[in-house]
Structure 1
Amino acid sequence: MKSRLKFHLLSGLLACSLSAALLSCSPPLRQAEELIAKKKYAQAQIILEKLQNEDPENLTAQALLGYSRFYTEGPLPALEELQPLQQKSPNSLPVRQTIQKLIQELQKFDALLRNPQAEALKIYIPQAPNAFLKSRAQWVLFKKLKASGLKKEAVKLAEMLKQETQDPFIQQLLDWESLSQKPEERERILDRHPKSTLRPLWYWQILDSQDKTPKANQLLIHFKEETEDDTLRAAILLRQGEYNLEKNPVVALNYFRTLLQNYPKHPRGRQLIYTIREKLGKYLSTADHQFLAQAAFDRYMYQTASGELQAAAPQDREGLYQLGIYARKAEYYSLARETFAGILRRFPRTREAGLASVQLAGMQRSNKAYNAALSQLRQTRSSYESYPEVYTEALWEEGIVYDFLNQAEKQAQVYKLLVETDPKSLHAAEALWIAVWQTYLEGQTSEVVRLIEKYRKVFEGDELESRFLYWLARAQESLEQKEEAKKTYASLAEGPLMDYYTHRSRERLRVMLRGGEDQYATRKYLGYKPESRQLPGWADAFKARLESTTLSKEDWPEALQLFYLGQWHEFLQIAENSSNDRWQYLRGLLLNQAGDHYNAITHYRYKAKENEIFLPVAFPLAWFETMEQEALKYQMNPFLVAGLSWQESQYKPDIQSWVGATGLMQIMPSTAEQIAAQMGMKDYDLKDPETNIRMGTWYLNSTHKTFEGNSMLAVASYNAGAGPVLRWKKQFAHLPYDALAESIAYPETRDYVKKVFTAYWIYQALYGKDAQ
């Protein structure tokens, strides 16, 4: 019997004879192993703790101690033993086998929690490996029984759990469940658990159950005072404003203004401005109108900004110039022209007069009066040379005029002068880029290197920095400065995945190190990894803590445990207004799982630029089986279809543009009719994802045919149409793919191509079977 028990242990865990690398087995170690095989973990733990004190280097004893503590105390105590071992000896066979066994145990638990049948939990609970998992299984069973209408059984289980458990997390859940039946006593939960991460959930649920009373306002004040989370504070400010909107409008205005001022990127900002104008307009002072105008302008609400500033009726030159800018942006051209002309009359020879003169020249350019615009700009430069800002603004506008006149060389000359005059001006980095690119197109490679190296400080820290450095390396390649180019590429290759030039640098570095062709968009498709879409559970949490360099009892806060238990609705109530990146990441996963890819993408693509943990939620793998099936029909990489869908529609099946383009890949109704005729489709619905993907992929293949398999030109054609792309192909036929992409004449299409291919490369990196 003993030999069979020991064999069972050896096959799943550790054994003295398992590897010559293990230490020889002492009688106490054998005794501990036999006790573990008999599931007498507490007795084994006593022996193993003694062994560890006697021989701290005995990895087998330490690993078995972690294993025992898992069954006697739970996952976190086990981690206290195993995490240092994992950091110290990650390749140790005893350590690896122990960890694998425990992960398998937690994976079984995760599968159990996902099982919709309550019976599986009832079977598991009596044989649960430890109190930690047992109490959580009991809680999930309680929730399932309650949801199924089995109230008596649920109440009985809750009472039993309340008597048995000493787990603080489960006690909090039971407390809240009990108090939820007594609305008048709900606030007591806040006193009982002052440090719980569930407090935001409790606050919101208490507030949602109350009217907009002074008591609710007071609760909001306490809520805001106790939190240091900026995202949560913004949500509370919004709620405070809403609660006071009817009875205390001036107070509400103060809350709303604070929110707009302190949280300029808040997603409700635009709607809040409309609310203030509609419901609080009569309470606005001149300062309020000025503030609201700036807030609207910062959010690209140009007509609103112009209207608010008109209401403020500025009389000083700074305010009038601002009004002119807002009016021009809002396309109120008469008002803009009148305002700028008034500044020239009332405040001649001032900075604002010079800037107004530049704006008037710009409006002449918009009316195609190019010669008149150039004449006024030159005069402005001459008259306001003592104002550097006016001088450089005039140069910038002059360059735009030359661009409309297709005089690229003159534009480059003007912009070189701009950079030389004031390398710190607002437009310096963009002006330098235009000058550098024209120099590159003229074949002056050495001059490209000279300009970029001379003016490094102009673009350092600017969003254009990676573009400058990439083309510096390309120029260095052409000049046979191979080592310098490799060094630059290697640095850029470590950049963020949402940067187009990170991917381009990786490819150029591959070509330089290994040879072969530059695969701009021709990587062979080797399949995808669907398992990467699995929601994380307790097993993933355990693995993550093992890989961490630190360990704390606070590693699994209550809010995170809600997620792992599958209480996603409650978790979302907390995570939505949290600055915690991990919680936000999990919220994004849940949005995607619910099919709300649009909100996940539009919210988390900006976060992904700052933290790549958000890439999987900003780039979901939705409807990919259909994309794969359709793309492979035409020998295309399905990730290119995914990247194009990401850019076109952010995966919103029923999205429709103002011109009528519909669905995932944004197909125009007229184009759809042509595609349907070619595909033999009589009835179709562009808002059906699979239908839209079929038609869009067919159309993308047709653009590939037009441009002989050139994916870059095919994608450009998908956006701009074949005609313009054929012209660009003829004009820049001598250029490599990356330079041709940089030379696309339409700014929108140039940006579109880069974004599509960046998304394509990200999908390949995240989900491709060949991804490293």
Structure 2
Amino acid sequence: MLKQRKIWIVLAAGTGLSALLIGTFLPIEKLKDASHQAIGLGSNSTKPESVGSPSTIVSPLIAQSPNQRAATLKATAQKSTVSLERNRARYLLASDLIAQGQGDKAIESLKGLEKDYPVLSAQVLLKRAQAYEVAGKQSETTATWQELVKQYPNDPAAAEALFFLGKSNPKYWDQAIEKFPAHPRSVEIAQLRLKKNPNQLALLMLIVNHATNSEGYTGVLNKITEKFAPQLQPKDWEAIAFGYWENQVYDKGAFAYARAPQTAVNAYRAARGLHLSGKPGGEDRYRQVVQQFPNSPEAGLALTRLAALAEQPQLAIAYLDQVIQHFPDRAPAALVEKSKQLDKLNSSKFATQVRQLVLTQYANTDAAAEMRWAYAQERAKAGDFRLAKQWAEPILNNNPDSEIAAQAGFWVGKWTEKLGKSDEAKAIYQKVLAQHSDSYYAWRSASRLGWNVGDFNSVRSLNPAVNKPATRPELVSGSPVLKELYQLGQDRDAWTHWQIEFQGRMAPTMAEQFTDGVMRLGVGDNLDGIFMVSNLSDRDKPEEKEQYRSLKQQSAYWQALYPFPYLQEIENWSQQQQLNPLLVTALIRQESRFESKIKSSVGATGLMQVMPDTATFIASNIKLKQFKLDDPNDNIRLGTWYLDHTHLEYNNNSMLAVASYNAGPGAVGGWLSKAKTQDTDEFVEMIPYDETKGYVKSVFGNYWNYLRLYNPEISKQISKVSSEHPKDS
């Protein structure tokens, strides 16, 4: 029913986002200013009443509708003593009134506010101009826009003023483009002018640099490279290459990177782009990277690529030996690959020696963990659980940061149970929860320990309590203006402001990337927002890894990674179908990352990625005459009906129901008929479709994270055993 959705590839090489460099395709899961703060300090560094931090009265109102919060805002705004709460209430009340078309009342709420509320003084003038416009007072509107440009010429709010003033005087549009090229209004100006004269290179390059996700973007790139190539400078080619890369046009990206400034990263991408697109010349370019930048991390990657592309084992081993000798961080993985090449040459003795070297000299590496895990699985398959445990147990102790540590730890617990050592098994499950509290295997461990988290056969019927945070956490990066707009829930204005502050698009800092993700979530760009936040874990520099560990201690990180869009619709239709609403939320997060308009290559549409034919079938069953698959309410209604249907097919086993939702009932029925185990955990590991196996683990991993973050009982329980759990959740 629901096949693979839009695929995102990590886009930066040499910035710590290493998944692309190693060729890993990531399922949908896809930032500067003087006041920039180090990541990990934001939410704890400011007093509660300071600008940019949550407040006690106004902040809890952000999630409410304008009508719901109007009375409280009015009462707070009318207080006689000037305070941050009063200023916030006046500003937010005025914003609501403008949106409701009540310009005169908004003007009154804003009167003199710029003096009392200096952090948003420019924004106050912006709102006043908007209020005058809504009230139909054109002369006052123009005068206020002019005042804003005069008093705050360098504030991003001035770009809005320049845009509106430029409608009657083009010189203002020229100023906007010159001073604020990254502002969405400047992009809009460029697009309007290009409609009249499409051959303006400067405006085309503005689109290239600042509108990567705009409609027709790759067409702009093509136009520039076809018509203006002789006029382009190396930096222009770099921007064009990055644009192609962002949009996964790798062959043209490679062409552009070859003409960009020849850094190690750009040279590597020129090679990798040809490789990914299947075009010739990739191997030669990999060799050029090694020759031109022999000591760079990209040279190590290039040698690894060359080894993988080599047709002869001897040549592959020669490349791998260079990696082992010159790039110690890649040596363990290169040694494992070398052992495989030796096997091809029937040199089993030397292959064994190489593997032993990995297990002894590189015992704490991912390569050693993966080798141990492979041996453990072989022994478990043969029924030797004692030896399987012996091989796998060191992974949890020696390789806690390995991607397979949680999986290995959980199965050590299961095998220990099979050996009749229940107390020891419980200690192992608790260790998995302590060290890998956000993993799918933490949920499986909690279930084995008897926590009230549900199992595959019971999770459907649970209805966990959910406590959403009453206030927003403080941003970890950005100016005081940006932080204050975010605290007021002025997400569109915050996003616009952020476009000027975010200077590191090609190589963002950790704090910038996280802030960009949060800003995207605020304006409903959930797919890219979650992508930006989730890929912080891929950073590989020591200082970045430390920053990531610090960030994981903050609830802001987890709330961004597991947001709650469409909660009302999810709860409503989950209740109608007697489904656990957190399970539905978890499935939607995996299916669409909460993008209501997304459509797969095979036609699956919307939040729950419902196929049109399936939707028609469901609609006929529930007597629904009209529906739109990209409407969130309709999509969740149809999707939850189908999820209930798959549950009923498999006697309310949620694992089989979720697998069926992804692969179809025919496939799951076939797997069941051939299954050689009654153990549900073993069945999951034996699912023959890698996509479905990963899908099942991801959905239930999502479910577990929503549960541990937002359910008071489980959050309290996990905080007692795991230092990773955010203390302010």
Both structures adopt the same fold (TM-score exceeding 0.5): yes
Counterpart Cα distance in 1 of 2:635 and 2:244: 36
Within the candidate set 303, 310, 317, 2:251 is matched to 303
In the other structure, the counterpart of 2:459 is: 523
Aligned to 2:645: 702
CA change 1:463–1:148 in 2 (3 A) is closer
Task: Find 1:645's aligned residue among 576, 588, 596.
Answer: 588
State the distance in 2 between where 1:136 and 1:322 align: 47
Alignment of 1:739 onto 2:701:
no
Cα shift at 1:500: 1.9
Give the conservation status (yes or no) of the 8 Å contact 2:308–2:316: no
Distance 1:644 1:159 in 2: 48
In the TM superposition, what whole-angstrom CA distance separates every residue of 1:60-88 from its partner, at most 9, and x where no partner exists?
xxxxxxxxxxxxxxxx99979xxxxxxxx
Give unpaired runs (5+ residues) of structure 2: 1-45, 130-140, 289-299, 326-330, 344-350, 503-510, 538-547, 716-729
Aligned to 1:202: 157
Q: Is the 8 A contact 1:337 1:360 kept in 2?
A: no
Q: Does 1:131 align with 2:78?
A: no
Matched, 1:359 2:282: no
C-alpha deviation, 1:395, in angstroms = 6.8
Query: Residue type of the partner of 1:715?
Result: V
SS of the residue 2:701 aligns to: helix
* 1:46 corresponds to: none
CA contact (8 A) 1:653 1:688 kept: yes
Q: Could you tell me which of 429, 440, 443 is aligned with 1:489? A: 429
Q: Is the 8 A contact 2:466 2:711 kept in 1?
A: no
For residues 361-380 of structure 1, the aligned pairs below 5 Å read 361=311, 376-377=312-313
Q: What's 2:493 paired with?
A: 570
User: Please, which of 411, 418, 427 is the counterpart of residue 471 of structure 1?
Assistant: 411
Counterparts of 1:263-662 in structure 2, within 5 Å, are 278-279=223-224, 281-283=229-231, 300-308=248-256, 326-332=273-279, 335=280, 358-359=308-309, 361=311, 376-377=312-313, 396=337, 419=358, 430=370, 432-452=372-392, 459-480=399-420, 485-494=425-434, 498-508=438-448, 510-511=449-450, 519-520=455-456, 522-523=458-459, 525=461, 527=463, 532=468, 536=471, 559-562=482-485, 567=490, 569-574=492-497, 579=511, 587=519, 590-591=522-523, 601-602=530-531, 604-606=533-535, 611=552, 612-624=555-567, 627-628=570-571, 630-631=573-574, 635-662=578-605
Alignment-derived partner of residue 662 in structure 2: 719
**Which whole-Å CA distance do the structure 2 matches of 1:393 and 1:108 have between them?**
53
1:413 touches 1:435 (CA, 8 Å); kept in 2?
Answer: no
How far residue 591 of structure 1 moved from its aligned partner, in angstroms, is 3.6
For residues 240 and 716 of structure 1, what CA distance do their matches in structure 2 show?
48
Aligned to 2:12: none
For 1:111 and 1:641, locate their aligned partners in 2 and report how far apart those are by CA, in whole Å: 22
1:732–1:740 Cα contact (<8 Å) kept? yes
**SS where residue 532 of structure 1 aligns?**
coil
Counterpart AA for 1:130? T
On the 8 A contact 2:379/2:388 being kept in 1, the answer is: yes
Say whether the 8 Å CA contact 2:659–2:696 is kept in structure 1: yes
Following the alignment from structure 2 to structure 1, what is the Cα–Cα distance between the partners of residues 627 and 566?
18
Farther-moved stretch of structure 1 (627-636 vs 660-669): 627-636
1:14 maps to which residue?
A: none
> What is the rounded CA distance, in whole Å, between the counterparts of 2:619 and 2:97 in structure 1?
50
- Looking at structure 1, the residues matched to 186 and 362 of structure 2 have their Cα atoms a distance apart, in angstroms, of 41
Aligned amino acid, residue 695 of structure 1? L
Tell me the CA shift for residue 658 of structure 1.
Answer: 0.5
Task: Sort the Cα spacing of 1:651 and 1:706 in 2 relative to 1 into closer, same or farther, 3 A.
Answer: same
What CA distance in whole angstroms lies between the structure 2 residues aligned with 1:501 and 1:247? 56
Alignment TM-score, normalising by the size of structure 2: 0.60
- Give the distance between the partners of 1:616 and 1:627, measured in 2 at CA: 18
How far does the alpha carbon of each residue in 1:394-419 deviate from its partner, in whole angstroms, 9 at most, with x for none? 9759979x9xxxxxxxxx99996795
Shift of 1:120: 8.6
Could you say if the C-alpha distance between residues 472 and 570 of structure 1 is closer, same or farther in structure 2, counting changes exceeding 3 Å? Answer: same
Deviations 1:99-140 (A, max 9, x none): xxx96x7799989994489899778766x2633255655556
Q: CA deviation at 1:712?
A: 1.1
**Structure of higher RCO (CA pairs closer than 8 Å, 6+ residues apart):** 2
Please report how far the alpha carbon of residue 675 of structure 1 lies from its aligned counterpart in structure 2 after TM superposition: 3.9
What is the number of equivalent residue pairs in this alignment? 591
Contact 1:125 1:138 in 2 (8 A): yes
* Whole-angstrom distance in 1 between the partners of 2:63 and 2:454: 45
How far, CA to CA, are the matches of 1:693 and 1:588 in structure 2? Answer: 23
Cα shift at 1:757: 0.9
Deviations 1:125-180 (A, max 9, x none): 66x26332556555566667777777777767766778xx7564586666675998
- The structure with the greater share of residues assigned to helix is 1
Which AA in structure 1 matches 2:250? Y
Counterpart of 1:692 in structure 2 is 635
> Which one has the largest radius of gyration?
1
Q: Alpha-carbon deviations, 1:581-637, whole Å to 9, x = none?
A: 997797567446xxx655655555556995442444544445555545555566542
Q: Secondary structure of 1:661's match?
A: coil
For the 8 Å contact 1:639–1:763, the answer to whether it is kept is: yes
Structure 1 residue identity aligned to 2:683: L
Kept after mapping to 2: 8 A contact 1:607/1:614: no
Query: 1:320–1:339: 8 Å Cα contact kept in structure 2?
Result: no
Contact 2:303 2:322 in 1 (8 A): no
Structure 1: 5+ residue stretches without partners: 1-75, 81-101, 192-198, 222-231, 261-265, 344-350, 362-375, 403-411, 545-554
CA contact (8 A) 2:521 2:530 kept: no
Residue by residue, what CA displacement relative to the aligned partner does 1:526-554 show, whole Å, maximum 9, x if unpaired?
546577386x4xxx89xx9xxxxxxxxxx
